[in-house]
Amino acid sequence: MATLAQPPFVPVPATGDVRFFLRGAIVMTVTIVSAFSFQYLMGRSTFAAPLRVHLHAWVFMGWVGIYLLQNIFVATGRMHLHRRLGWFAVAWLAPMIVMGFVVTVANVRLGHVPFFFRPAQFLIFDPVTVLTFAGLTLAAVAMRRRTEWHRCLHFCAMSMLLIPAFGRLLPLPLLQPFAWEAAFAAAMLFPIAGAWADMRRSGHVHPAWWRGMTVMVFSLVLAEAVVFSPLGPRIYAAATAGSPGAAIAPMDFGVPAGTLVTGRS
């Protein structure tokens, strides 16, 4: 019977690159929570919002918790929990994509776009960001048997979700007309830090970092190309038809009017 007894679980200390990914997940979580908490404390967000806004918040914050837990499980050697939660996380992507599109289109149709963004830019960039995140995440899942690819691509995917966070932490009104690009650049610092840590640790940068960062930059270039082409205004017109947003010029910046309140639509 003694040979069948299971030993008590003993956490495995995080070492090397495992420690980097755990610390990165913690910093990302703190950044996102701080950003949205800051919005609330500054009176720029409100709980008096429709159900769709609350669902959007719960779904996306749920992913932040999932990502942090996954890295904790790996760092403490609980791979069986990591695998189980991983398949649940794949299913979690669907409501994230849906709610990302729903809330973005609702804001644009109501004319509730931050004045430092072009309305068409806001309409295109948000969905592209969510789809890029989902694509990188699915690629990471497909590469789950190749550890370095798996965690690097997940890290790059999570970095895409930092763009809205930095959009709330950075003084974007002062960075107009490059507010979105500034938030994107801040988020890019995370995979760049990963590549730099890889270089210091092993003397070279794993190709997964280059692939992930290339996809991230491509998403920005693609969104810019659509926004500033004739297609951008056409997409905006189709999305806002019959709504207050249709009266707003898709490529013009708004005028600041009192306190900007998000999450109101």
Between 6 and 106, residue with greater pLDDT = 106
Q: Which residues have C-beta within 8 Å of that of residue 14, sequence separation ≥ 6?
A: 22, 75, 76
Q: Which residues have C-beta within 8 Å of that of residue 103, sequence separation ≥ 6?
A: 52, 53, 56, 265
pLDDT tens-digit series, residues 126-161: 999 999 999 999 999 999 999 999 999 999 999 999
Burial of 90 (0-12, 13-18, 19+ CB in 10 A): exposed
pLDDT tens-digit series, residues 156-210: 999 999 999 999 899 999 999 999 999 999 999 999 999 999 999 889 999 999 9
- Residue 112, CB-side half-sphere exposure with 13 Å CA sphere: 16
Cα 122 to Cα 27: distance, rounded to the nearest angstrom: 26
Check if the beta carbon of residue 123 is closer than 8 Å to that of residue 243: no
Rg from Cα positions in the chain: 20
Residue range 229-239: mean pLDDT, rounded: 96
In the structure, how many helices (H) and strands (E) does the chain have? Answer: 10, 0
pLDDT grade, residue 16 (50/70/90)? Answer: low
Cα 255 to Cα 98: distance, rounded to the nearest angstrom: 30
pLDDT at 40: 64
Cβ–Cβ contacts within 10 Å for residue 216, how many?
Answer: 23
Report the Cα–Cα distance between both ends of the chain, in Å, rounded: 63
pTM (predicted TM-score):
0.88
Strand partners, 182: none
* Mean pLDDT, the chain, whole residue set: 88
pLDDT tens-digit series, residues 208-226: 999 999 999 999 999 999 9
What's phi and psi for 262, nearest 5 deg?
Answer: -100, 170
